[in-house]
Structure formats: C-alpha cells, structure tokens
C-alpha cells in the first residue's frame, strides 16, 4: 500500500491510496488520510528515444560535459590524454555551441601523437587527430564524410564509433548494467533505445539469464537488419524490438540537419536518402510488423518523412523522431495522419533559448520549432524522450514548462503526461502507463530531494 499525491490520467489528485499486490495495482482511492510519502506518485517515466547504452559506455571515457569555451576544452583534453591507457583515446560529450570556434585536427595534433577522437554530444560530429585518421585509413580505407584536412567527421563515423573502435564484450555488458542503474535512479522503467547489433545480442543474452530490470523497447538500425533477424523474433516482458531506425538528416549542432532555408553561418544540410530508398525501408519494416523510427530534425527531412508516409497503408505504426523544426503545415499533417512523434524537450532547455544555439544557427526558422502547445491543440500523438542529451526526464520537463515561446509552454500535468502515460501509449503498451486497477505497478515517486 502506498500513499502520495498522485497523477491519475492528466489530473494531480491529493492524498491517494494505491494498493499493490504481486506487481499489479489492485485499488486506487482518494483519501483524507495523511500522505505518507512527501511527493507525487506518477506512472513510470517512459523515455521514448534514447541512447543509454553508448552513453553508459562513454561514462568510462573522459567527458567534456559543461565545458564552456575552447581553451578549457583543450586544457581538459591535454590533461586527460595522460590518463587513458588504451592505444586509441576516445573522449565524449563536447558542446561547442557557445565556443568561439570548434576543435580542429591541428588542435588535437598539438596535444598528442597518440590516436585521438573527440565526439560531440549530439553524436553526429567528431574531430580526429592525424594519427587517428591514419589508423582508420589503414583499417577501412576512405571514411565517408571525414575531412582529413580539418579532422572533422560528421554522420557516418561519429554515429558508428563502436564499429570503427569496437568495445569488448565485457565493456558492453558493463554499459548495460550502468545504464539500468542510471535509468532506475531517474525513475525510468521503460526506455526506447536505439541499439546496435552487439548491444542487442547482449541484451537478449542478459534477459535470458534473468538479469534485466528495465523494459527495453528497442529500434534496430536498418543497415544491421539482416544480422538482427533472429533477435527480432525474440520477445519478453523486458525486451522487445519495436522499430527500425533510419536517418533522414543530421543535427543542428553539426550543421547537417536539412533545411529549406540555410543556416545563418552557411549551408543547408542535406537529405541522406531518396524517397525511393525510404519507401523500400518502410515496406520492409511493415512486412516485419515494425514501425520505422524516422530521424528528422530539419523541415526538409520532416517534409520527406511525411511525404513517404503518405504512401503507407498504416502510417500510424511509424514514428518521426525529434520533429524539431516542421513548417506550419507539417504539424497539422502529422496530427491528421496519426503518425507517432517522439519529441525532446531536453533540447529546448539545452539549446532552445533566445540567443542560444538554435536561434543563432537558424535565425527566424528557430520559431518554427518544438511547438508543444500547438501539438496539444491538434491532439497529435506525441510523447517525450531525452535522446540522452542530457539523460533525465526532469531536465526535459523544465524545457516544456519554460519554453522560450510563452504560448508554446505546457502545464505540469500535461508535461508529465507526455513523459509517462503518452510514452506507454506510443509503444502500444496496455499493461502500464496509468495509475489504475489492473495495471502493472510501474510507479515513480517524485520527492523534494529527487535528484535525477
């Protein structure tokens, strides 16, 4: 039996008694009795789009989180190269959105002759020194989207860093354990993970051994689909493949998201696939009874996703990930089609303020983006996720509550709903997502000292 204030549906009740038996909610009633838990009882947080496995692996590497200028970043890198025992040094998490300029190959060459790769927090951009470029050329030949002169790599290499510099089996298992501990500490019991094939295999292995704690709802990368055929057939309470992931464009921070209007500092980004290629991917997914998770941030990519989805007989099984900067008509189109949308209020808080990265990079296009109130008014099928940038629903909730455009802000109940119940619904789950009799007791308590 649990007492607390509770979020039931979209309304916060006062003094609620919830009786739990064998993992299910048996009874819920409003009571005048004294609340025994000083907080709010909510359905479990559901992070609909995340990368907790590579993020947890990255926690074993030097991370540049929170470093606000280039000089401090270079000082940090110089100090930490001495501490890394591996032949290839990988560092993670830099955010150059407020720096005077980004890192270059020459910067890294001055620090060390050992192979060094530093990846941006968005995962779509990395900078390599000369030694790292040399190793990659020897192993793989020409690397797509790698500028050897500047050391800048976008999309292919940074997104598939574990392909080029593979972690060990022990590191992968440790990353899963770390990820689950992190998720539980943040009140997340269900996560939509974008997972590469080695992580998928390890998740299944650990689930068969009965050691997984979190409900993993994963998307397989399309280019690894053949390797994942057997994994797709496997299903349990804690593991299920629910989608196929495909990229239509990149990120704003890497200047690779695709826009009809150019970035203020040049370029438009570009679409990564043709409509015909995407339609083939969509039909393959539907033949497996899976939805496609379309990564689409810029308006050109969102337009392409919706254009291709119009050719589907069941667009409602597919998702658009991020859906950050649609044009006005795209909002209504997505709502009318019933397409699932996974949005990241974490981005709004981190980069979405007036004068912040998005505003500086996009100019007036900035005002097209992340219109939560409009989505509410259109009754769109959307839920929240973090993209692990940074991890944690509480961080993202504040992005929704304090949206830089006042008219687009959500109330507390609405924002919580999108990070809880709506998340269960976007996965088509019926056993959890509400505080109601007969539902699984996947519950999170937010207290004053809750520290996600």
> CATH number of the domain that 369 lies in?
3.20.20.140
Q: Cis ω on the peptide bond leading into residue 173 (within 30° of 0)?
A: no
Model confidence band, residue 5 (pLDDT cutoffs 50, 70, 90): confident
User: How much is the average pLDDT of 224-241?
Assistant: 96
Residue 204 and residue 138 share a domain: no
Instruction: With a cut of 60, say whether residue 414 has pLDDT above it.
Output: yes
CA angle 106, 96, 67 (to 5 degrees): 100
Residue 58 lies in a domain: no
Going by pLDDT thresholds of 50, 70 and 90, the confidence category of residue 449 is low
Tell me whether residue 53 is in a domain: no
Q: Is residue 54 part of a domain?
A: no
Do 212 and 118 share a domain, yes or no? no
Residues 248 and 361 in one domain: yes
Looking at residue 2, what is its pLDDT? 81
- Does 52 reside within a domain? no
pTM of the predicted structure, to 2 decimals = 0.91
Segment 293-327, tens digit of pLDDT: 999 999 999 999 999 999 998 999 999 999 999 99
Which of 140, 164, 188 is the last residue before a domain boundary?
164
Confidence of residue 71 (pLDDT cuts 50, 70, 90): very high
Look at residue 6 in the predicted model and tell me its pLDDT.
Answer: 86
- How far is it, in rounded angstroms, from Cα 152 to Cα 386? 26
Does residue 443 carry a pLDDT above 80?
yes
**Domain end residue (candidates: 137, 164, 191):** 164
250 shares its domain with 318 = yes
pLDDT tens digits, 80-104: 999 999 899 999 999 999 999 999 9
CATH number at residue 153: 3.10.310.70
**Whole-number percent of the chain with pLDDT over 70:** 99
Is pLDDT at 12 greater than 90 in this prediction? no
Average pLDDT over residues 348-375: 97
Residues 217 and 258 in one domain: yes
419 and 287 co-located in one domain: yes
Q: Give how many domains the chain has, as a whole number.
A: 3
When pLDDT is cut at 50, 70 and 90, the band that residue 450 belongs to is: low
pLDDT at 34 over 80: no
- Do 173 and 269 fall into the same domain? yes
Tens digit of pLDDT for each residue in 126-140? 999 999 999 999 999
Whether residues 335 and 200 share a domain: the answer is yes
pLDDT at 451: 56
Residue 298 and residue 221 in one domain: yes
Position 452 pLDDT exceeds 60: no
- Lowest-confidence segment of 73-82, 153-162, 441-450 by average pLDDT: 441-450
Q: Are 157 and 11 members of one domain?
A: no
3-class SS string, the chain: CEEEEEEECCEEEEEEEEEEECCEEEEEEECCCCCCCCEEEEECEEEEEECHHHHHHHCCCCECCCCCCHHHHHHHHHHHHHHCCCCCEEEEEECCCCCCCCCCHHHHHHHCCCCEEEEECCCCEEEECHHHHHHHHHHHCCCCCEECCCCEEECHHHHCHHHHCCCCHHHHHHHHHHHHHHHHHCCEEEEEEEECHHHHHHHHHHHHCCCCCCEEEEEEEHHHCHHHHHHHHCECCCEEEEEEEEECCCCCCCCCCCCCCCCCCCCCCCCCCCHHHHHHHHHHHHHCCCEEEEEECCHHHHHHHHHHHCCCCCHHHCEEEECCCCCHHHHHHHHHHCCEEEECHHHHHHHCCCCCHHHHHHHHHHHHCCCHHHHHHCCCCEEECCCCCCCCHHHHHHHHHCCCCHHHCCCHHHHHHHCCHHHHHHCCCCCCCCCCCCCECCEEEEECCCCC
The pLDDT value recorded for residue 13 is 84
What is the band of 4 on the pLDDT scale with cuts at 50, 70, 90?
confident
**Same structural domain for residues 210 and 336?**
yes
Residue 420 lies in a domain: yes
Task: Assess if residue 413 is contained within a domain.
Answer: yes
Say if residue 158 is in the same domain as residue 194.
no
In a domain, 56, yes or no: no
Domain boundary among 131, 164, 197: 164
Whether 61 is covered by a domain: the verdict is no
Containing structural domain, residue 104: 66-164
């Amino acid at each position: 039996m649990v007492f607390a204030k509770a979020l039931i549906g979209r309304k916060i009740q006062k003094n609620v008694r919830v009786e739990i038996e064998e993992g299910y909610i048996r009874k819920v009633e409003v009571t005048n009795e004294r609340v025994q838990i000083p907080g709010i009882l909510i359905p479990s947080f559901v992070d609909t789009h995340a990368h907790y496995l590579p993020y947890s692996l990255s926690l074993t590497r030097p991370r540049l989180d929170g470093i606000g200028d280039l000089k401090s970043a270079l000082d940090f890198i110089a100090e930490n190269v001495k501490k890394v025992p591996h032949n290839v040094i990988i560092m993670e998490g830099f955010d150059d959105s407020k720096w005077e300029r980004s890192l270059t190959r020459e910067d890294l060459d001055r620090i060390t002759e050992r192979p060094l790769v530093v990846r941006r927090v968005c995962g779509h951009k990395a900078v390599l020194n000369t030694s790292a470029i040399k190793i990659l050329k020897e192993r793989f030949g020409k690397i797509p989207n790698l500028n050897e002169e500047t050391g800048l790599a976008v999309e292919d290499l940074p997104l598939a860093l574990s392909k080029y510099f593979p972690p060990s089996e022990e590191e992968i298992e440790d990353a899963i354990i770390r990820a689950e501990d992190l998720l539980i500490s943040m009140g997340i019991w269900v996560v939509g993970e974008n997972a590469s094939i080695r992580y998928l295999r390890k998740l299944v292995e650990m689930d068969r051994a009965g050691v997984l704690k979190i409900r993993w709802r994963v998307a397989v990368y399309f280019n690894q689909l053949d390797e994942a055929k057997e994994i797709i057939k496997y299903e349990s309470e804690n593991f299920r493949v629910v989608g196929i992931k495909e990229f239509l464009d990149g990120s704003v921070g890497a200047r690779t998201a695709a826009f009809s209007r150019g970035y203020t500092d040049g370029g438009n980004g570009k679409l990564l696939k043709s409509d015909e290629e995407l339609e083939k991917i969509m039909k393959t997914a539907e033949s497996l009874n899976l939805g496609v998770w379309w990564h689409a941030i810029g308006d050109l990519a969102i337009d392409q996703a919706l254009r291709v989805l119009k050719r589907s007989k069941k667009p409602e099984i597919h998702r658009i990930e991020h859906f950050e900067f649609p044009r006005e008509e795209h909002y209504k189109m997505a709502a009318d089609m019933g397409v699932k949308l996974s949005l990241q209020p974490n981005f709004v808080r981190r980069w979405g303020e007036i004068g912040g990265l998005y505003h500086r990079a996009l100019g007036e296009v900035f005002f097209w983006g992340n219109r939560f109130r409009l989505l509410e008014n259109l009754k769109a099928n959307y839920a929240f996720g973090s993209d692990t940038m940074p991890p944690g629903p509480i961080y993202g909730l504040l992005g929704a509550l304090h949206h830089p455009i006042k008219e687009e802000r959500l109330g507390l109940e609405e924002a919580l709903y999108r990070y809880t119940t709506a998340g269960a619904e976007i996965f088509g789950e019926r056993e959890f997502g509400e505080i109601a009799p007969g539902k699984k007791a996947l519950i999170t308590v937010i207290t004053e000292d809750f520290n996600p």
